[in-house]
Structure 1
Amino acid sequence: MDIRPIRDGEDEAVIALWTACGLTRPWNDPVADLTLAKGGATSAVLVAADDAGIGGTIMVGFDGHRGWVYYLAVDPGRRRRGLGRSLMAAAEDWLMVRGAPKLQLMVRSDNEAAVGFYQRLGLERQEVIVLGRRLDG
């Protein structure tokens, strides 16, 4: 599978994959998230694709201090074959080229399967608390 930046015409397939993987939430508009990441100078959406279509995605960004990963998704029918690991490696490469000294990501507190996956890749739980507030209303 080729890992590359998203191409025009692939948005619908990417959002469908995010939805199938349970990554979307009513308060986060995936179309807006995708549009912002694709148009950003410091962000990208990478896809893993072959003749059968898009099998995985990862959104990556660099805020000048840390690299961030979002929307790691692997088609449920293509899991357990190393695709998630390959997407994470591609995101790390993208960040290293841009000089990011650290990679971070957020996992929902009830998603122990994802936590286990990331820990197997060498990521560690951080001693931080994430605070937030909606700015759209």
Structure 2
Amino acid sequence: MTELRIRAAAPDDLDAVLAFWKVAAEGVSISDDRDGVERLIARDPEALLLAERAGELVGTVIAGFDGWRCHLYRLAVHPGRRRSGIGSALLTAAEERFVGLGGRRGDAMVLRRNETAQHAWRAAGYAPEEQWRRWVKPLDD
């Protein structure tokens, strides 16, 4: 199998990312448009991570750090490529980014109705904090 490559998105990737999310991501975010993703990349060029295999986009995650909190959004893996380690590799890359920036805990926005995603986040070591309605994972050893 071809090696998985993880890299930061470039402006030329935006149309492909938006099309990919229509296939692979659950739900719609208010920022799921070209303007929203352009703003993200302009503000933090390393935040949108792409997973590629043989040049094909197979996964994404947004790893945003605001200097205070580490936020994870849009973890998405192509439906035909799930359960092959792509999501785990993206989360590892995101967590390494956060630690390098001084982050202490990652949190993820997960739709309550998305049982598949909840299982994936739990398997990655995240757990719900019901009082906040978000999932968190300490990033230190």
* TM-score where L is the length of structure 1: 0.85
Following superposition of structure 1 onto structure 2, how do residues 72-87 of structure 1 map, counting pairs within 5 Å? 72-87=75-90
Q: Cα 1:42–1:63, aligned 2, differ >3 Å: closer, same or farther? A: farther
For residues 6 and 42 of structure 1, the distance between their equivalents in structure 2, rounded to whole angstroms, comes to 7
Bigger Cα displacement from structure 2, 8-17 vs 39-48 = 39-48
Following superposition of structure 1 onto structure 2, how do residues 11-90 of structure 1 map, counting pairs within 5 Å? 11-25=14-28, 27-41=30-44, 44-90=47-93
The equivalent position to 2:13 in structure 1, one of 1, 6, 10, is: 10
Letter in 1 for 2:113: D
Shift of 1:128: 2.6
Letter in 1 for 2:72: V
For residues 42 and 17 of structure 1, the distance between their equivalents in structure 2, rounded to whole angstroms, comes to 19
Report if aligned partners of 2:11, 2:38 keep a CA contact under 8 Å in 1: no
Is there any run of 5+ residues in structure 1 with no aligned partner, and where? Answer: 131-137
Following superposition of structure 1 onto structure 2, how do residues 83-122 of structure 1 map, counting pairs within 5 Å? 83-122=86-125
Question: Once the two structures are aligned, what percentage of the paired residues are identical?
Answer: 31
- Spell out, residue by residue over 1:69-101, the C-alpha distance to the aligned partner (whole angstroms, 9 max, x if none): 111111111111000010011110111100011
Higher strand share: 2
* SS of structure 2 residue aligned to 1:9: helix
Is there any run of 5+ residues in structure 2 with no aligned partner, and where? Answer: 134-141
Q: Structure 1 stretches (4+) deviating beyond 2 angstroms?
A: 22-30, 127-130
* TM-score where L is the length of structure 2: 0.82
* SS of structure 2 residue aligned to 1:10: helix
Shift of 1:42: 7.9
CA RMSD of aligned residues (A): 1.9
Bigger Cα displacement from structure 2, 16-25 vs 69-78 = 16-25
